[in-house]
Amino acid sequence: MFGGHFYHATMRKSVAVFGTLFNNINVIRKAADGSILNQVKVPLSYGPKEKFLARLDQEHGRNQPVALKLPRMGFEITSLSVDSNQKLSKLNKIIEDHGSNVTKRKAINNYTSYDIGMSLYIMAKSQDDGLQIVEQVLPYFTPDYTVSIKPVDNFDFKQDVPIVLNGVNIQDDYEGDFATRRVLIYQLDFTMKMKFYGPTGDAPIIREVDVDIIDLTQFEEDVAAAIEGGTSLLNSQSFAYTIISADNNNYTFETGANDREGTLENLADPTLNIFNGDTIAITNSLAPNHPLQIENGRGDVVASESGGTLTFTPTTNGTYYYQCTSHAGMRGLIIVTDNYLTQAIDPDAGPIIENINTAVGETDTPDNFTATTTIKDNNARRLSALYNVTVVTTVEGESENQYALNGTNAPDIEFISGYTYTFDQTDLTNVYYPNPNGSTFNQHPILFSDVQEDLQEDQSPDDIAYDEGVSYFIDGAAVTATAYYDQFNTATSRQVQIVITDDTPDLLYYMCINHTGMGGAITLITSTAADEAVVALEQSAEEDGGY
């Protein structure tokens, strides 16, 4: 199951590291007068050894003339146990750069901690020698001494290896008969805290990240333009380009071409920004020279020129290239992203498109936008809506008239607290209908009231009018209600605006001050309900392909 092969020589390195700590210890012997008679660097060896090698190393092909040379040190591994105190997360990985290769990274997925028991033995002929060695070791271990190693070849990360001195034993067999030699051995027991590493490998790296960032200002402009100019920005578009010259290094595009970001400014190998689903059509006027093709980020050809033209409709976001098949340098970027105008917008994160539901009755498709849309930032949540008010005949052939809001006859509408609604009566049917425009006046000024019953003949508008937050505009200038009625037929533009707050009555009515039966009810949605309405609206928009 584990398979493969890897070996980082961890124990071998542990032995060498441990040996290095003690490989430069000296012992000196003094005369009675304090002068130094002898200085010895203490030999050190790893205890376990092939016996024949020991014979080869020490006897040099002759009989060893002495029993042993002292002082000397030896050490050995005494134990290997899991270090539960250094429990590591199983998700930890070691990742490093791969040198010059930026397409991948070196990785080690598995490693674990172990305690390696080490014992250092010091054998000396005299206590003074042994104690000199011991004393040159002990002060560094408090009780640990830490060295840093690079535990895995070809990796640069470092590992601290604490080496803990657990205790010292002294063996001094000085008693007994004379024929028995005295043996003086100091044993120092250590624990090395090592880590064992698993196989090394290559980890792929994230080479391409698609980030959709909305430029709020641009977004507002785009949405406004989309709604004002119809739905062209919201739908897929075609962009046509003509290559008019080339110099083996660059294609030069004809001036005036657009992409989703506007008119191309740089015409030499320009970067083309389009939305997923858009179509680009490139005409190569130089054909058959400099035939071009389109490649994706992996170098696969996804479209090729045919008969001097090339069309490409991406269905996947990403970075593409148009590329001359003859000249490597003739190459430009095509950046394909989602049409962010069609994306659902998080009400907590992005801007709100206002008065989406001003297309009364049908609120959720772009086709229903007939009102001017204003964008506000999300914090303000200030929405405004504009109703184009016309006056129409209720039933074909009869004389009863009604207001039509954005083309819908006398709808019952919903207002949301915090929103501003504008009823634009500029249309001349408000002044003349059903009489032909320019003939006899038959005026239909709007009145807001919290009374359902229309204005009676014995009432003045003030008797039933709801005027909190209501403003009247004649030719763009704010006027009183009375002035609005007085100047209604002579004005060029006529608007009534109402600002809805939490204090606005839950139910209002809009009506004509002169005629009955023309208006409808206005229901106020509370702020919570309004939020839900907005969310519902957005969800609806998303399901339908957006606004």
Partner 1 sequence: MPRNVYFSQAVRSEQHLYEDLVIESLKIFGQDVYYIPRDLVNRDSILNEASTSTFNDAYLMEAYIENVDGFEGAGDLYQKFGLEIRDEASFVISRRSWNSTIGSYENLNKPQEGDLLFLPMTNSFFEITFVEADKPFYQLSNLPVYKLTCSLFEYNDEEFDTGIDIIDDEIGGEAYLTGMQLTVTGGNHFTQGETVTQTLVDAADDTPAVQIYGTVQTLDKTSTVLGKIGVSNIGVTGASDYRQFLVSSTNGLVGSESGNTCYITQIYDVGDDDADNFMANDGAAQNVAFETFTDNFLDFTETNPFGDPSENF
Interactions with partner 1, residue window 125-154 (CB under 8 A): 125-129, 139-140, 142, 145-151, 153
Query: Distance between CA 310 and CA 272 in Å, rounded?
Result: 14
47 makes contact with partner 1 (CB under 8 A): yes
Q: What is the nearest approach in angstroms of partner 1 to the Cβ of residue 33?
A: 9
Cβ-based nearer residue to partner 1, 19 or 347: 19
Q: Give residues 186-245 in contact with partner 1 (rule: CB under 8 A).
A: none
> Which residue in 5, 103, 178, 212 binds partner 1 (CB under 8 A)?
178
Closest contact distance (angstroms) between CB of 118 and partner 1 is 12
Interface residue with partner 1 among 95, 107, 121, 224 (CB under 8 A) is 121
Integer Cα distance of 54 and 352 in angstroms: 85
Choose the stretch contacting partner 1; rule: CB under 8 A; options: 22-30, 203-211, 283-291, 508-516.
Answer: 22-30
Nearer to partner 1, 1 or 66 (CB): 66
Single out the segment in contact with partner 1 by CB under 8 A; choices: 118-126, 222-230, 434-442, 506-514: 118-126
Minimal distance, residue 4 CB to partner 1, in Å: 23
Q: Which is nearer to partner 1, 65 or 397 (by Cβ)? A: 65
Stretch that binds partner 1, among 49-57, 328-336, 345-353, 487-495 (CB under 8 A): 49-57
Residues 467-486, interacting with partner 1 (CB under 8 A)? none
Judged by CB under 8 A, the residue of 59, 210, 362, 532 near partner 1 is 59
- Would you give the DSSP letter of residue 43? P
Of 1, 2, 7, 36, the one binding partner 1 by CB under 8 A: 36
Q: Is 87 in the site for partner 1 (CB under 8 A)?
A: no
Distance CA 392, CA 407 (A): 9
Which residues contact residue 456 at a Cβ distance below 8 angstroms, ignoring those fewer than 6 apart?
Answer: none
By C-beta, is 2 or 178 nearer to partner 1?
A: 178
262-263 vs 258-259, strand pairing mode: antiparallel
- Secondary structure of residue 321 in the 3-state scheme: strand
Of 262, 256, 266, 259, which is closest to residue 280 (Cα–Cα)? 259
Question: How would you classify the pairing of strands 292-295 and 301-304?
Answer: antiparallel
Q: From start to end of 313-450, where are the E strands?
A: 318-324, 331-337, 352-353, 375-376, 383-393, 401-405, 408-409, 413-416, 419-424, 446-449
Q: How many residues bind partner 1 (CB under 8 A)?
A: 75
Among 1, 2, 35, 85, binds partner 1 (CB under 8 A): 35
Residue 12 Cβ vs partner 1, minimum distance, rounded to whole Å: 8
Cβ nearer to partner 1, comparing 148 with 501 = 148
Q: Which residue, 59 or 261, is less far from partner 1 as judged by CB?
A: 59
Residue closer to partner 1, measured from CB, 127 or 487: 127
Question: Which one among 37, 138, 477, 507 touches partner 1, defined by CB under 8 A?
Answer: 37
Q: In angstroms, what CA-CA distances link 129 with 19, 27, 76, 225, 316?
A: 19, 6, 21, 94, 79
* Residue 98 near partner 1 by CB under 8 A: no
Q: What tokens were used for 83?
A: 């270090």
Tell me: does residue 1 bind partner 1 (CB under 8 A): no
- Kindly tell me which of 72 and 98 has the beta carbon lying closer to partner 1: 72
Report which secondary-structure segment, H or E, holds 534.
Answer: helix 527-543
Residue 82 vs 138, nearer CB to partner 1:
138
- With contact defined as beta carbons under 8 Å apart, do 370 and 406 qualify? yes
The reply to whether 312 sits near partner 1 by the rule CB under 8 A is: no
Q: Are 524 and 502 in contact (CB under 8 A)?
A: no
Q: Catalogue the E-assigned strands of 235-363.
A: 238-246, 251-253, 258-259, 262-263, 272-275, 279-284, 292-295, 301-304, 309-312, 318-324, 331-337, 352-353
Q: How far is the CB of 169 from partner 1 (least distance, A)?
A: 14
Task: Judge if the upstream peptide bond of residue 71 is cis by omega within 30 degrees of 0.
Answer: yes
Neighbours of 455 (CB within 10 A): 20
Query: Which residue in 13, 39, 42 sits closest to 25, CA to CA?
Result: 42
**Nearest 5°: phi and psi at 396?**
-55, 130
Locate 102 and state its tokens. 């930026």
CB of 154 or CB of 526, closer to partner 1: 154
